[in-house]
Amino acid sequence: MILTAHLTTVLLPGVVLDWLLGDPHWMPHPVRWMGRSIAWLEGVLRRVLPRTPAGERLAGTLLAILIPVVFGGGSWFLLEGLRGMSSQLAWMVEVWFTYQLLAARALQKESMAVCPPLAAGDLEGARDAVSRIVGRDTQQLDEAGVVKAAVETVAENTSDGVIAPLLFLALGGLPLGMVYKAVNTMDSMVGYRNERYRWFGTAAARLDDVLNWIPARLSGLLMCLAAALLPGCSGRRALRVFFRDRKKHSSPNSAHTEAACAGALGVRLAGDAWYFGKKVSKPTIGDNLRPVEQADVARACRLMYVTELLTLAMVLGGGILLSA
């Protein structure tokens, strides 16, 4: 019963707060604390360890160990200390941080921000809006490219921004949720195969791959089920494209929800993109049954929310079974 009580009294309120509040830029946020800590520790490690491949691998490995330990362990000690003073205060803090580790409302808000300028014919404004949520160059994007980039962002981040943290929070409460988010933030900052991070970012990237292996695949399957429940989407087509295209990415985890979303909507995603002024060839995902349109951004967001609801139902059902 303890697991079920945790899911209903902490996880559910955290999800609801995310839906209601999102991520206001003025609000202190643990991911920003993680980002500053990663940048600071990277600088320290680079100064004290040799600038050789072996030295940078060691520095990156230390970063990949220390950051999750600090944030996961720190949150555990914080909650234990608060419980010694007030169980109600500890509950409020855990719910608050649980909410902050979820990103569904923020994904919806940032992705939907491309639609008003597109509706007004302001392509530059739409490019600027989508540039805040993608890593690619946006200057060359036409209207379809902007929409596709927004849909891809929602689809891919449904896994590591919503479903994966939800699963880790369900399994290990706030401490494990913080560990996951710290690893995911490290990967987004140092997990690149460029000159600067080729060796330094290896440990963070591989750890992120390991932690996301199950959530990415589960998210894709649940999104296929969500597609079957939503009007205007096809669950059967989502499942077919998911199994066909889910490995069409250099990352082992990135294309699962993207493939499910492309199949659900009946559109083609991914393909060639520009990064730092260079064109990068990528395989396409999905079938080009129709052109992408502005409404697909909202459809992708609905898929994300229903996938989250299905995940909640799954973990709550699992909690009830384990507590029986």
Q: Residue 175: its pLDDT value, please?
A: 97
pLDDT in tens, 123-154: 999 999 999 988 888 888 899 999 999 999 99
**pLDDT > 80? residue 195:** yes
pLDDT in tens, 3-19: 566 778 899 999 999 99
Residue 25 confidence class, pLDDT cut points 50, 70, 90: confident
pTM to 2 decimal places: 0.94
135 vs 133: CA distance, rounded Å: 7
**pLDDT > 50? residue 1:** no
**3-class secondary-structure state, position 24:** coil
Q: Residue 250: its pLDDT value, please?
A: 82
pLDDT in tens, 81-90: 999 999 999 9
Q: Residue 16: its pLDDT value, please?
A: 96
pLDDT in tens, 87-117: 999 999 999 999 999 999 999 999 999 999 9
234 vs 224: CA distance, rounded Å: 8
CB 264 within 8 A of CB 303: yes
Share of the chain above pLDDT 90, in %: 83
Q: Residue 149: its pLDDT value, please?
A: 94
Closest CA to 319 of 66, 89, 1, 35: 1
**pLDDT > 50? residue 285:** yes
Residue found under tokens 């699963």: 167
114 vs 260: CA distance, rounded Å: 22
Q: Residue 323: its pLDDT value, please?
A: 72
Domain that holds residue 143: 2-323
CB 245 within 8 A of CB 257: no
Helical packing angle, 12-21 and 104-112, nearest 10°: 20
Residue found under tokens 């919503």: 162
pLDDT in tens, 29-80: 999 999 999 999 999 999 999 999 999 999 999 999 999 999 999 999 999 9
Closest CA to 297 of 131, 121, 153: 153
Burial (CB < 10 A; 0-12, 13-18, 19+), residue 298, is: middle
Q: Is the dihedral of CA 131, 136, 142, 148 positive or negative?
A: negative
pLDDT in tens, 150-187: 999 999 999 999 999 999 999 999 999 999 999 999 99
DSSP annotation of 176 reads H
pLDDT in tens, 203-254: 999 999 999 999 999 999 999 999 999 999 999 999 999 999 999 988 899 8
Total number of domains constituting the chain: 1
Mean pLDDT of the chain: 93
Query: What is the rounded average pLDDT of the residues 294-298?
Result: 97
